[in-house]
């Protein structure tokens, strides 16, 4: 596996995990402040990291897909595949036990999906600026 693919997988896994844990933290704070009790099972953090890794893999396919399909269809396919992975994982790892729990997982999915897209775009712009600066510095030296 080349460095670029490894970087994509690592960055996406980190972004997805960070977004999920942040949303879970917010949910825990809200539940605590409203007088409820909130806890995770011992395996939930590990399952989240594992699923974050699995969800980073379709991003590789999205980026490496040929230009035959329109960008909109690629994003829709990407979103639906991740949604299917998260829904199935939520059922397997018991992230939800009823419809209200599933709705919470869906809301977290949507927020995290948007967060990861925006973060990826921002990180791409940062990389682009570094490359442009390096090229400018290289041309200035000549």
Confidence of residue 67 (pLDDT cuts 50, 70, 90): low
Whether residue 125 contacts residue 99, with contact meaning beta carbons closer than 8 Å, is answered with: no
Question: In degrees, to the nearest 5, what angle opens at C-alpha 116 toward C-alphas 5 and 68?
Answer: 60
Predicted confidence (pLDDT) at residue 65 exceeds the cutoff of 80: no
77-106: per-residue pLDDT in tens?
Answer: 889 999 999 999 999 999 998 999 999 999
pTM of the entire predicted model:
0.82
How far is the C-alpha of 19 from the C-alpha of 25, rounded, in Å? Answer: 10
Spell out the domain ranges in the chain. 3-141
How far is the C-alpha of 110 from the C-alpha of 121, rounded, in Å? Answer: 17
């Amino acid at each position: 596996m080349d460095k670029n693919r490894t970087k994509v997988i690592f960055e996406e896994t980190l972004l997805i995990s960070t977004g999920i844990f942040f949303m879970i933290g917010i949910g825990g704070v809200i539940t605590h402040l409203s007088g409820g009790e909130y806890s995770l099972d011992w395996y939930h953090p590990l399952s989240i990291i594992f699923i974050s890794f699995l969800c980073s893999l379709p991003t590789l396919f999205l980026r490496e897909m040929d230009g035959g399909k329109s960008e909109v269809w690629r994003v829709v396919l990407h979103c639906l595949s991740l949604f299917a992975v998260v829904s199935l994982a939520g059922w397997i790892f018991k992230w939800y036990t009823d419809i209200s729990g599933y709705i919470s997982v869906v809301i977290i999915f949507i927020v995290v999906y948007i967060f990861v897209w925006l973060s990826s775009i921002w990180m791409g712009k940062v990389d682009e600026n570094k490359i442009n600066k390096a090229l400018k510095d290289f041309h200035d030296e000549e």
